[in-house]
Amino acid sequence: MKLSVGWKAAIIVIIILVLDQILKIWVKTNMDLGKSFPVFGEWFYIHFVENPGMAFGWKFGGKTGKLFLSLFRLVAIGLFIWYLRTLIREKAKPGFVLCISIILAGAIGNMIDSAFYGLIFDSGMTFNPETGGYIGYSGVSQFSTDGYAPLLHGCVVDMFYFPIIDTFYPEWFPIESMRGNRFVFFGPIFNIADVAVTTGIFSIILFHWKSLKQISSR
């Protein structure tokens, strides 16, 4: 039986969400915060960090900023669902529909962490109003009904780390203040949901820009 574009989109979203959440839950319940292990040599690690902000470890304000970001994600997800349904109804190109589906799956994946991880795990990074930053914790997290943060205040679990170049700036570097400091390329730590969002966006830019323009002009 040939699947419709709508069913393909739904299957893609489900697959990405399942893989994303399985890996995040395994990392959170089996690794200490900040711990890592190599996957391929010295250029690919599973490195467990928690991110209270946006994708790839970027921060966004304190506790109020965290709540705003979570609410923004909810609104964005709602708009993406509406947009995806519109594309399917108007029989947009399948490739473009699937790109939007991938982005939607990534957005939902990180939203699950932000919305519910604070409620279902006993430990996680929490905001300290005295320092204006988030503080870590020791030990491996466990499922718990007590939780470590209110609804929409959980931290996103990140784990993919690719320090392709890990070295130090030479003493002859033109900027004196950076001489001898550590330089890492590629530094951000991210997850499957981040990969999905980035892949979907770049696929649209490279292959489906005309479809986006056509839909936007209607």
Burial class (CB in 10 A: 0-12, 13-18, 19+), 76: middle
How does residue 218 score in pLDDT terms, banded at 50, 70 and 90? Answer: low
pLDDT at 57: 47
The tokens describing 183, both together, are 């330089």
- pLDDT of 70-86, one tens digit each? 888 899 999 999 999 99
pLDDT at 212: 63
Choose among 74, 55, 53: nearest CA to 64. Answer: 53
For helices 5-30 and 192-207, angle between their N-to-C axes, nearest 10 degrees: 150
Assess contact for 159 and 27: CB atoms under 8 A.
yes
Rounded mean pLDDT, 90-107: 94
Task: Give the residue numbers marked as catalytic.
Answer: 158, 194
Q: What pTM does this model have?
A: 0.87
How does residue 180 score in pLDDT terms, banded at 50, 70 and 90? Answer: confident
* Residues spanned by the domain of 80: 5-216
Residue written as token pair 């870590």: 136
Calpha distance 109→113 (Å, rounded): 7
Residue type, 136: G
Counted domains in the chain: 1
More confident residue, 3 or 107: 107
Residue written as token pair 């030990």: 139
Work out the number of other CB atoms within 10 angstroms of the CB of residue 17: 19
